[in-house]
Structure 1
Amino acid sequence: MVIMDDYARLFRLDGRRALVVGAGNGIGRESALALAAHGADVIAADLDAEAAAATAELAGGQGYPLDVLDGAAIQRAAAELDELDVLVFTAATNVRKRLVDYTDDDFDRVIALNLASSFRLIRAFGGPMAERGRGSIIGFSSIRATTVEPGQGVYAATKSGLIQLLRTAAAEFGPRGVRCNAIAPGIVATPLTAQIRADEAWSAAYASKSALGRWAEPSEIAGAVVFLAGDAASYITGSCLMVDGGWTAVDGRYTPPA
């Protein structure tokens, strides 16, 4: 029987080491801070070494410069940052163009960061986690994995592909104690969405699409990371948690009078 104190500890991460890739700003930064607030020993990794160090200082952890487009660098990180309990990766990019306007370079750029680097991170860190018999891997998908619009095709394909990649990892690593899940945010005020938020009409249109009628702050996504990282989610794997303010639950095009 579970006692009250056990439930109180479900969201604690004391004694666990967490690597957050993309921790220099936005959702990654807030995820690192939230994990640290719940007791985790956080390693804040980012291409921007100064930004990683700044997040690490706030989290009381370690900064780690990491270029996820460099496969060898990922392998080195996996060797150096041994004994991880949690891996969170948030790094992504988007090129907003219609498919016929996409160049091969545009395509390769989005695929490389959003999908190929995710694969390499899962492979490099998931294997050792499985050997130790424990771990939680959390990758960031998007509402665009299920709902698209003109100009989002390649980005959407990567975010849908990431869910399937994590589901496969869940199937392969699950018998050895490693859980793998995705989080799919809606519209969040991050550097990636600065172009949209700079356009008042575009920003307002997006805000009105969700059930809550507003944009999210990065800190509002961090709770989902803490949940999936720890024992509160001990029987959750191969899932995608929508954190989208109801965007994918409602029609959003028109509110009828009755």
Structure 2
Amino acid sequence: MDDQTTYQDLFRLEGRRALVIGAGGIGSAAARALAAHGADVTCADWDLAAAEETAAAVHGSAVMLNITDAEAVRTAAERMPEMDIVVLTAATNVRKRILEYLPEDFDRVVNLNLKGTFSVIKFFGETMVRRGTGSLIIFSSIRDQVVEPGQSVYAATKAGAVQLVKTAAAEFGESGVRVNAISPGIVETALTEQIKSQPEWYQAYATKNALGRWSVPAELAGAVVYLASDAASYITGTTLRVDGGWTSVDGRFTPPTSSSQGG
């Protein structure tokens, strides 16, 4: 990177092929941002209509993909071996305390969030390693680091996803493949309608982070473009936190301060 033209091109994605898995909500914003920077985007979702809606917006293609089906992921990777960028946003949560959790709740969350993540990393990583290039971007959550009641299994899967990302980065790195995670804070999507519908809960989350507000999906898109692009060519195995400072501050209470007080 030794001239102005090179620096200007750092975020350009022309000629690169991207697959966004979980093409609604955050995935839709990610697909739009990748397309805006020049990538040829394929949108995948278990809900084909959601994939098609985003695909239409980015002039891309749409496919149905259920990542809880490992064979379906394997087949998709074999049919799309040319992908330079794969972004996984799909996830689910069952908000229950541990003593209330049912085995079927556990299986539902783990099968999508952890097993599905493993399948995407394994099968799409395999095609990237063969080609000697690629960027895998896995969405985690602040729950990979901090928790609250009712988040046990979800938090465990997100922490597990981060460890899969680190291991894949270590294993794929010599082949020129980068693997990273993005860890959002609280985002206004259809999946957070339950929280948004309760004003006290909504406000409590807003005041927990340093910026004092929720994020919107578009605010995650820059992180996706960055990790997909040459601007992040020496970044792998990392978790990029886009959480408004949630994991950096105590939140909820701003104490009085003076030079004589300890902490």
**Aligned residue in 1 for 2:126:** 127
The one-letter amino acid paired with 2:222 is G
Distance 2:214 2:60 in 1: 30
After superposition, residues 1-258 of structure 1 pair within 5 angstroms as 2-23=2-23, 25-258=24-257
Distance 1:95 1:70 in 2: 20
Distance 1:106 1:50 in 2: 26
Distance 1:131 1:82 in 2: 9
Distance 2:26 2:49 in 1: 17
Q: Calculate the TM-score normalised by the size of structure 2.
A: 0.96
Residues 204 and 252 in structure 2, CA contact (< 8 A), matched pair in contact too = no
Distance 1:155 1:83 in 2: 32
Q: How far apart are 1:67 and its partner, in Å?
A: 1.2
Residues 89 and 139 in structure 2, CA contact (< 8 A), matched pair in contact too = yes
Residues 81 and 128 in structure 2, CA contact (< 8 A), matched pair in contact too = no
Identity across the alignment (%)? 60
Secondary structure at the counterpart of residue 34 of structure 2: helix
Q: How far apart are 1:257 and its partner, in Å?
A: 2.3
Distance 1:65 1:97 in 2: 30
Distance 1:26 1:95 in 2: 18
Distance 2:140 2:123 in 1: 19
Deviations 1:12-62 (A, max 9, x none): 111000000001x11001000000000000000011111111111111111
Distance 1:112 1:123 in 2: 15
Distance 2:189 2:114 in 1: 20
Residues 16 and 85 in structure 2, CA contact (< 8 A), matched pair in contact too = yes
Deviations 1:67-95 (A, max 9, x none): 11212211111111121100100100000
Unmatched 5+ stretches in structure 2: 258-263
Secondary structure at the counterpart of residue 248 of structure 2: coil
Distance 1:128 1:52 in 2: 23
Return structure 1 stretches of 4+ with deviation > 6 angstroms. Answer: none
The one-letter amino acid paired with 1:90 is T
Secondary structure at the counterpart of residue 248 of structure 1: helix
Moved more, 153-162 or 65-74: 65-74
Distance 2:166 2:243 in 1: 20
Distance 2:108 2:86 in 1: 23
Distance 2:168 2:255 in 1: 43
Secondary structure at the counterpart of residue 20 of structure 1: strand
Q: How far apart are 1:233 and its partner, in Å?
A: 0.2
Distance 1:209 1:11 in 2: 32
Distance 1:46 1:122 in 2: 16
Distance 1:161 1:191 in 2: 24
The one-letter amino acid paired with 2:139 is F
Q: How far apart are 1:201 and its partner, in Å?
A: 0.4
Secondary structure at the counterpart of residue 155 of structure 2: helix
Distance 1:111 1:168 in 2: 19
